[in-house]
Amino acid sequence: MDESAKEDVQRRMEEAARERFPDDAVPEVAVLHYGDDPGVEPGEVIVRSRVPVTAGPDGGPADENPMDTFHQTHRAAIEQFREDVKREVPEARLLEFTADLGSERKARMRTLLGPPPADDRRSDLTPVMARLGPADLQTLDTLITTGIAANRADAVRWALARIRERPAYGELRERARQIEELKTRF
């Protein structure tokens, strides 16, 4: 997508947010592409909206759960905005609302805009969260852009499968089993 198309999509999403949410409930909307934010994978688009947080007397947030309050207050507008995003930005995978809670803390509410990748729907998969540095992200993204993996989760599964193929991994598993056996004797 060229820059003018990106700017047009950005403008349309800002207009939709102003139309759907009264009184600056969502003062900022960003349409993020790969490279705009480390959380955006190659070929992916995320629409992120900022929700303001009212400060309490102690300087922290006045509301303990600002995203719950936002969701309860604007449930219908959120659903309408979700449909706007699906229609105007069909390549967007995720709609995200964030609230800055101070001290580098954020509250987040996410909604998928389409079905998860087919492989991610398997019942035998366990979700795992990992914090990766720039070099690790670049490695995963290279696997995606070269067509080896469809997304970052798939790239991690691919890398782990390559580790399991190595003969040393079998030896390592055997040693781990022996250590567990020794522990049971204590």
Please identify, among 52, 86, 114, the residue that sits at the C-terminal boundary of a domain: 114
The confidence score (pLDDT) of residue 70 equals 85
Co-location of 104 and 172 in the same domain: no
Q: What is the mean pLDDT of residues 5-31?
A: 89
* pLDDT tier, 121 (very low <50, low <70, confident <90, very high otherwise): low
**Co-location of 100 and 147 in the same domain:** no
Cα–Cα distance, 85 to 91 (Å, whole number): 9
Query: Do the beta carbons of residue 92 and residue 85 sit within 8 Å?
Result: yes
Final residue before a domain boundary, out of 94, 114, 134: 114
Both 82 and 141 in one domain: the answer is no
Domain span at residue 151?
A: 117-186
Pair (7, 86) in one structural domain: yes
Examine the domain organization and report whether 42 and 96 are in the same domain.
yes
Sequence-ordered list of residues with C-beta below 8 angstroms from that of 10, at least 6 positions apart, any chain: 29, 30, 31
Pair 13, 100 in one domain: yes
Same domain? For 167 and 184 the reply is yes
Tokens representing 81 are: 């905005």
Number of independent structural domains in the chain: 2
| Between 50 and 103, residue with greater pLDDT | 50
Q: Are residues 124 and 93 in the same domain?
A: no
Banded pLDDT at 150 (limits 50, 70, 90): confident
Q: Are residues 1 and 15 in the same domain?
A: yes
Confidence at residue 171, expressed as pLDDT on a 0 to 100 scale: 92
Residue 60 has pLDDT above 90, yes or no: no
Pick the closest to residue 89 from 21, 9, 18, 32 (CA basis). Answer: 9
Residue 172 has pLDDT above 90, yes or no: yes
Q: Please check whether residues 105 and 134 belong to one and the same domain.
A: no
pLDDT at residue 147 tops 90: no
Domain boundary residue, one of 79, 114, 149: 114
Lowest model confidence (mean pLDDT) among 75-89, 121-135, 158-172: 121-135
Dist CA 96 CA 29 (whole Å): 10
pLDDT at 119: 62
Structure confidence at residue 53 as a pLDDT band (50, 70, 90): confident
pLDDT grade for 136, boundaries at 50, 70 and 90: very high
